[in-house]
A and B are shown apart, each in its own frame.
Chain A
Amino acid sequence: MAENWPPPPSPVAPAMNYALWVDRVLAAIIDGLIALLVMFVLYVLLFLVGGIGSMIIGAGEAAVNSRGEPGGLSSLFGCSTCCLFFILPPVSYFTAGLLNKVYLISKRGYSVGQGLMKLKVVNSHGDIISTGTAVLRLLCTVGLSFVPVVGGALDLLWPLWDPQRQTLHDKAVGTFVIKTG
């Protein structure tokens, strides 16, 4: 007696239209501009707080400046320190990423930049990823950017030789970026 059983679910992941590397880079640049804006705000806040604090406690005046420049608010801007350029970009990326890379991606599937480039972040079943996965994905991205010289570059270039065009942070959490448009 023939019975019409429903076909078993396929273990093979659905065919996906993986995003091109160029589209991903353009989306990353747009998202990077948002992080840059956050970095600027943090930079101003840090130096305002630091400058006012140093004026109050006199640290800026007390510290010996080898270039003979005055301390305090007068030297707040136009200055650069290696630690700020090492720490501020990842911190800004993480702060902006909590909204752009976690909230937006877990709610609708794409960040601001990915939305403009018509890209979507999905899991192996083609579904929108959970908030936890999005947080892990962001932590991996920031962690890779902390690896000097090679981390960020490897993450960015990996889709060029990966058959599923995944970045390293995609590999870490098992996500894929597809083209929707």
Chain B
Amino acid sequence: MTAKPVKVKITYCAECGYEPQTLDLAKALMYEFGGRLSGIELIPWDSGTFDVTVDGELVHSMRREGGFPESEAVKQAVRSRLSASGTVT
């Protein structure tokens, strides 16, 4: 069974210079999941934001958790989502 590809959105504070962390995370997800992602959307924002959602579920929020996410934690959230919809990762 093929899973529905997963959409990841990263909302980052452009005023805060969070581009390197954003690109590092996007790159890690691209290499890990390739075509199993329907897309990675990068959203420049403000106010110290660094939010990551996987298919609409907030898996990391700088305001909530503090700091940047470990890429492995985000990868795990993507794997869980893919598994839930039927793919073997």
Tell whether A pairs with B. Answer: no
A positions within 8 Å CB-CB of B: none
